[in-house]
Amino acid sequence: MPILGAVVMLSREPDKAQRVVEALSADPRITLGDLFSGVLPIALEVSNKQDERELWQWILDTPGVSDLGLVFSDFSDVTERKDEVHP
Partner 1 sequence: MNRRDFIKQTALAAATAAAASHASRGEAASVSDAQVQRSGDGVSWDKAPCRFCGTGCHVQVGVREGKVVAIAGDRLAEVNKGLLCVKGYHVGLALYGADRLTTPLLRKGDKQVPISWDEAIGIISDRVQADPAGFAIYGSGQWTIPEGYIAQKFIKGGLANNQIDPNARLCMASAVTGFLATYGVDEPAGCYDDLDACDVLIMWGNNPAEMHPVLFSRVLDRRARGDKITIIDIGTRQTRTTAHADHYLEFRPNSDLAIANGIMALLIANGTWDREFVEKHTSFRADNGELPGKAITFEEFKAAVAPYTPEKVEAISGVPAAKIRMLGELFGSRELKITSLWCMGMNQHTRGTAINSLVHGVHLLSGHFGRPGDAPTSLTGQPSACGTVREVGTLAHALPGGRVVTNEAHRAETETLWNVPAGRMNAKPGYHTVEMWKRFSTPKKDGGDITTIWVQVTNPAQTMPNSHMLVDPSRKDPDKFLIVSDVYPTATTRIADLVLPSAMWVEKNGMFGNSERRTQQWFKMVDPPGQARDDTWQVLAVANELYRRGVAAFKDKDGKALMRVTDDKGVEVPVWQWDKFYTVNVDRYFFEEYRKFTRLKHKDLAPYDEYVKARGLRWPVVQDQSGAWRETRFRFAEFDDPYVEKGKGFDFYHSTTKDGRAQIWARPYEDPPEMPDAEYPMWLCTGRVLEHWHTGTMTRRIPQLARAMPRAYVEMNREDARRLGIQNGETVLVESRRGKIELVAWLDGRGKPPAGSIFVPFFDERLLINELTLHEYDPYSKQPDYKKCAARVSKRGAAK
Give the binding site for partner 1 (CB under 8 A): 1, 3-7, 9-12, 31, 33-45, 49, 52-53, 66-67, 69-76, 78-87
The nearest distance, CB 22 to partner 1, in angstroms, is 18
Half-sphere exposure (CA, 13 Å, Cβ side) for 14? 0
The nearer residue to partner 1, 22 or 71, going by C-beta atoms, is 71
The nearer residue to partner 1, 58 or 71, going by C-beta atoms, is 71
Q: How many CB atoms lie within 10 A of CB 24?
A: 20
The nearer residue to partner 1, 62 or 66, going by C-beta atoms, is 66
The nearest distance, CB 32 to partner 1, in angstroms, is 8
The nearest distance, CB 5 to partner 1, in angstroms, is 3
The helix or strand, by DSSP H or E, that contains position 65, with its residue range, turns out to be: strand 65-74
Measured CA distances, 1 to 4, 16, 79 (Å): 10, 31, 12
Pairing outcome for strands 39-45 and 3-10: antiparallel
